[in-house]
Amino acid sequence: MKRWPDKNYINGNWAGGSSGRMWTVTNPATGDALAEVSVADASDVNLAVSAARHAFDEGPWPRMDPLARGRLLFLLAQKIRDRLEDFAMTDTLNVGKPIRDTRGFDVPCAADLFESYAGLPDKISGKCFGTLPDNVTMQFREPMGVIAAIVPWNFPLTNAAIKLAPILACGNTVVLKPSEVSPLSALMLAEAAHEVGFPPGVLNVIHGTGAETGAPLVRHPGVDKITFTGRHQTGAQMLEAAKIGMKGVMLELGGKTPSVVFPDAPVENVVNGVITGIFYNLGQVCVAGSRLLVHESQHADLMERIVAKVRGLRQGDPTDPSMQLGCLATAQHLSTVHRYVEQARKEGARCVLTGKIPDGPQNCFYPPTLFDGVTPPMTVAREEVFGPVLSVLTYRTEEEAVRMANDCDFGLMANIWTTDGTRALRVARQLRAGRVTINGGGALRPNVPVFGYKMSGIGAELGYEETVHEYTSSKAVIYALGTEKSPWPE
């Protein structure tokens, strides 16, 4: 594949950082350097926000025929599909994801997102309150302005598309900051948008750390809204930054997904679903099914089946299509995951499966790890590990299962496994989570909103009605029908 973009994309041009500082992007599977990318400091952030501000205030994008805006989004989707292999290999090399996953899900999903939201611009509508005797009141939905979008490293291209597709469809301009760990596919996306003809300043992509680049971006007075996906601790910082200018905030934060398995559930389906839910992308998924709640009567059988199947998973070179598991994104994150594993041991959880962490430069490979005998107060059952660590808890009654599932600060997603439809809906209504799947079906869909309960976020990611609410402003226009002068102040 050709050389990756290594500069910031601002106002339709590629620009090196004002400081001249470069950041080394690393392949976590080998420790080798992939690229050197310019770092944006506060002055570069100001250039990017100013470009987005001018494009919104003076440029054609918010005023463009909605169908024309949609066509550009559709062309971007096509461009992603045309370069599927380049995008897939980029994210595989950048964060250690198996190539079978980036080819099979990440890149196609990103293209689907842009294609799906390409149909939204001309469907955005307001309301008319025409029943009042003395006026007609109209509610308009208008583009909101400049959006600061910050995404994490676990799904580099897909996360960027989740933010950009609805933001752009609604007529906003945007400054995107990918994780400093994984900027390459976001810069490629800017390149693709340039090639299909997005006006200058509509999409800007800047690179750097949270402190050096992210902080001045979210505090910039030219930004109208912050949308962030990542750790809940950083989400709290976004709320603090939003006070400057009273910005809007959309936060998609951490999760601690419970998978509640009832005795009547089809066991083989459960085994596959549980393994996929926690070990896909090595658990580096905000909705990873990290807590398995099993009825005591089926515990032994289910554990035996899960352990046997996990032992057969192939882990190795992420560029090898036969590998099901790659590596974690950074050595620093591996240390965090391992710290949680050691803490679980100290607190009395029983490790029934793990493996050896390789020595040397390939130290980002972490083995699938299972803990049994976990109880709700344990750290591993309460905090987001964001790694391939499954905690197994047992329950006796449905009421206890619901109580244990809800005994957590997060509420992003929950899974239910049962063939009893009445029970499934009854339990789903009781679970404190923004998304509940029944017998699987948890794949991301462009038109399905993602909500976060409790510490898992504020607002909705995706969903057409929800997107319009998040990324447009509402304006009421009151048209008086009466011709008589108001009696006050006479």
> Annotated catalytic, 252?
yes
List 115, 170, 212, 286, catalytic entry: 286
Cα separation, 334 vs 337, in Å, equals: 5
| DSSP 3-state of 351 | strand
**481 contact partners, CB below 8 Å, separation of at least 6:** 133, 134, 135, 136
CA distances from 173 to 59, 70, 224 (A): 10, 14, 10
Residue 235 CA to its chain's centroid (Å): 13
Tokens of 377: 């107060």
Cα separation, 49 vs 32, in Å, equals: 33
Give the other-Cβ count within 10 Å of 441's Cβ: 10
Cα separation, 156 vs 185, in Å, equals: 7
| DSSP 3-state of 224 | coil
| DSSP 3-state of 35 | strand
List 115, 180, 212, 252, catalytic entry: 252
Indicate the DSSP class of residue 122.
Answer: G
Determine contact, residues 222/254, Cβ cutoff 8 Å: no
Cα separation, 3 vs 151, in Å, equals: 23
Residue in 147, 122, 124, 127 with CA at minimum distance from that of residue 49: 147
- Which DSSP string corresponds to 456-481? TEESEES-HHHHHHHHEEEEEEEEE-
Cα separation, 102 vs 171, in Å, equals: 29
Residue in 238, 128, 130 with CA at minimum distance from that of residue 177: 238
Burial of 121 (0-12, 13-18, 19+ CB in 10 A): buried
Cα separation, 302 vs 261, in Å, equals: 10
Determine contact, residues 393/376, Cβ cutoff 8 Å: yes
Dihedral sign, Cα of residue 219, residue 220, residue 221, residue 223: negative
Tokens of 438: 């029944």
Determine contact, residues 136/130, Cβ cutoff 8 Å: yes
Burial of 65 (0-12, 13-18, 19+ CB in 10 A): exposed
Residue in 10, 330, 80 with CA at minimum distance from that of residue 182: 330
Give the other-Cβ count within 10 Å of 41's Cβ: 18
Whether the link from the prior residue into 200 is cis, omega within 30° of 0, is no
Cα separation, 360 vs 252, in Å, equals: 35
> Annotated catalytic, 58?
no
Enzyme catalytic residues: 252, 286
